[in-house]
Structure 1
């Protein structure tokens, strides 16, 4: 963005908001003013449609969630995860009084910035991008929404991405702060939501809201993400034969599983708390038995998935209502309350997938090769740039003012790739 946020802000007017309550004119404003295209359509409905039709969302169909997309026809991809997250978030948000289109938009957008090969690609790109400020999937999502996705241009001729409303962009900010510099904490282990080069639009989005605090819609999106990730990835793991539910009752297995849950997902929990969380889940009447692939077993597994989602969402809804009362809850009028016991149950489910899918020997070997591939691909693109870049990135590379900005373009190019296109481009550029 070339213009200071304040200059554009003063020139903007919000579009009409049919049927919206709890959202003011500032929430409905766009970075660049646009006239409404269809009477009776809310600005958040337009936001949802823009994300749903975006190229960035379509690319998630071939990006790793946990299991590599092309290993079989069944495992979830980043796209199916995003759609499931959107369904969960929409219903939970609606039950609290949030605009459902706004929450769904945030859920659909939350993973747009993830590069090929899931978190492995994210870690590899973060190492490569250190000279230009690092790489973070959530910050990349904001960059896609406000700069990289082709939709709208400013009067000065600069892309402003999908030009979503302020409320939609704020709802998509899982980590509403720039990259922190905390003494003693490696930068590569810290989460953040914006790069230094995109702070102008970030400051516009976050104008007049509490620093560092997430709006309710973003909190709903974040919990929907956790619920979808923990429950559906467990379903994939069971369906794929990676975990038999009987193993979760084996004392030795439980020790290792709960240690991983504490290390990765619940560092503040005691072993006793995590064991109680696992026991609560196993005691549910819908908890699936051993999976044999039969129609009855598949139906039981689907029922367990549905029941667990309901369990986690209803716990959050009831706790939030108890804390903030009835009536519509939106933006900064409330915070989502998720009971500690529920969060620990979610953490245990995540640990099941991590232990039996993500840490398998063959999976670790594949991730090592993927990290190497990302590094080689970025190096090959940079050495041959701008000729090695796609037209949209070639133009940005030529216009970049310094080496850091040029490296950011290389990172944008790599991050935009799917798993399949990354492999193909790597093969073409390196002849390997």
Structure 2
């Protein structure tokens, strides 16, 4: 097994890769063959295609928790994806992994999210239940393999096998004995694509995808903590008994007693992210030394994740998730807005499914009649791609008699 110099003692410089990193020169190619670029690696091209996609631009007006008009300082899916990308690149550099692939996966991981966050996803899952359901990871795959139309030769972005694999498997195997959700059927979009392009759904993803998934956890929890405090959904005092977070606030107040509370929040979030990154790299290095993978394929077939938090950090992370679930995601003001979001999505779906002639022409052409399974999927794709702002505007245009169509 080959490591870059001083694997256990210092971060790596750009270009220093471990033997188990994904090698762009050995990438498994694309569904539609293309000539190599003389200036960019395959994973760099994937990253650039994602950044230039319409779906990526729309993340600017798709929210994490708050709807876009509730405040311009709250996170959107776009700012969250950029934050995940920064963390994923840093961790990958420290572990000697391929930063470009980790970045591509971090930037693409939320492409399939609906307007109004999980409320919109739940609403689409309900109305599409008899037509294959809805899953945001499957929708991400659908976007990058079908719905994005930028190239004459093919639909989608024609990303590499490694990026597509990481996109659908970043949380673990989807089929076989190691599948995370054994009782849940494979989302239709993933099953259909796998018939064309085998993504090895019964194994773990490569190391960069595993790092990107945990970078998502680091960014999500810490920045929701930040947004929740700034929105007044809970206070610093409410966090006093929370493991890791409570002691950090106590320490920061002791270190900077005269600083403004807003700066205390910034400092705690900064320290939390640093602590979680160090824990992730430390535990992953421990597993590397124990499991000794020689290649990215070895990582896929270890039978367990290579990238992971320590047991103690997993407990801290779970406690923070539980706190945020109770005090933020189920706060009555958030519940009211998510309730509105669910109603908007359901009402738009039912109207457009029964009256597809109200769809824009480029979408109507894809339908095959009123109330059909095909039309249901087309309407689902149309609504899933909406931003919060566009969904609210479209609902107003469709249901307010005083509004121009």
Q: Tell me the TM-score normalised to structure 1 length.
A: 0.77
Question: Contact between 1:62 and 1:77, CA under 8 Å: does it hold in 2?
Answer: yes
Q: Return the alpha-carbon distance in structure 2 between the equivalents of residues 351 and 415 of structure 1.
A: 28
Structure 2 gaps of 5+ residues are 1-14, 300-305
Residue in structure 2 matched with residue 389 of structure 1 by the alignment: 359
Give the match's secondary structure for 2:86. Answer: helix
Question: Contact between 2:47 and 2:100, CA under 8 Å: does it hold in 1?
Answer: yes
Question: Contact between 2:233 and 2:331, CA under 8 Å: does it hold in 1?
Answer: no
Give the match's secondary structure for 1:283. Answer: helix
Change (3 A) 1:59 1:314: same
Residue in structure 1 matched with residue 389 of structure 2 by the alignment: 420
Change (3 A) 1:143 1:19: farther
Residue in structure 2 matched with residue 131 of structure 1 by the alignment: 130
Displacement of 1:172 in angstroms is 1.6
Structure 1 gaps of 5+ residues are 1-17, 255-277
Change (3 A) 1:303 1:280: closer
Displacement of 1:372 in angstroms is 1.6
Displacement of 1:29 in angstroms is 0.4
Change (3 A) 1:19 1:186: closer
Displacement of 1:51 in angstroms is 0.7
Displacement of 1:211 in angstroms is 1.1
Q: Does 1:219 align with 2:218?
A: no
Aligned residue runs from structure 1 range 41-120, under 5 A:
41-120=40-119
Change (3 A) 1:295 1:46: farther
Q: Tell me the TM-score normalised to structure 2 length.
A: 0.82
Residue in structure 2 matched with residue 333 of structure 1 by the alignment: 298
Residue in structure 2 matched with residue 269 of structure 1 by the alignment: none
Q: Return the alpha-carbon distance in structure 2 between the equivalents of residues 234 and 287 of structure 1.
A: 17
Q: 1:280 aligns with which of 234, 240, 244?
A: 244
Change (3 A) 1:223 1:330: farther
Displacement of 1:388 in angstroms is 2.0
Give the match's secondary structure for 1:284. Answer: helix
Q: Return the alpha-carbon distance in structure 1 between the equivalents of residues 293 and 174 of structure 2.
A: 30
Render the CA deviation track for 1:131-186: whole Å, top value 9, x for unaligned: 111001111011101111122354xxx52x11111111112223566699xxxx99
Residue in structure 1 matched with residue 194 of structure 2 by the alignment: 202
Q: Does 1:372 align with 2:321?
A: no
Give the match's secondary structure for 2:57. Answer: helix
Give the number of aligned pairs. 369
Question: Contact between 2:123 and 2:342, CA under 8 Å: does it hold in 1?
Answer: yes
Q: Return the alpha-carbon distance in structure 2 between the equivalents of residues 139 and 195 of structure 1.
A: 6
Aligned residue runs from structure 1 range 266-277, under 5 A:
none
Give the match's secondary structure for 2:237. Answer: helix
Q: Return the alpha-carbon distance in structure 1 between the equivalents of residues 265 and 239 of structure 2.
A: 16
Render the CA deviation track for 1:24-80: whole Å, top value 9, x for unaligned: 66634011112234x231111111111111110111111120122211121101111
Render the CA deviation track for 1:82-134: whole Å, top value 9, x for unaligned: 11011111111222222101001101111100001000000000001111110
Change (3 A) 1:394 1:218: same
Q: Does 1:232 align with 2:223?
A: yes
Question: Contact between 2:22 and 2:208, CA under 8 Å: does it hold in 1?
Answer: no
Q: Does 1:141 align with 2:106?
A: no
Residue in structure 2 matched with residue 40 of structure 1 by the alignment: 39
Change (3 A) 1:307 1:248: closer
Q: Return the alpha-carbon distance in structure 2 between the equivalents of residues 41 and 19 of structure 1.
A: 17
Change (3 A) 1:177 1:152: farther
Displacement of 1:296 in angstroms is 4.0
Q: Return the alpha-carbon distance in structure 1 between the equivalents of residues 97 and 195 of structure 2.
A: 23
Residue in structure 1 matched with residue 7 of structure 2 by the alignment: none
Change (3 A) 1:44 1:186: closer
Change (3 A) 1:361 1:19: closer
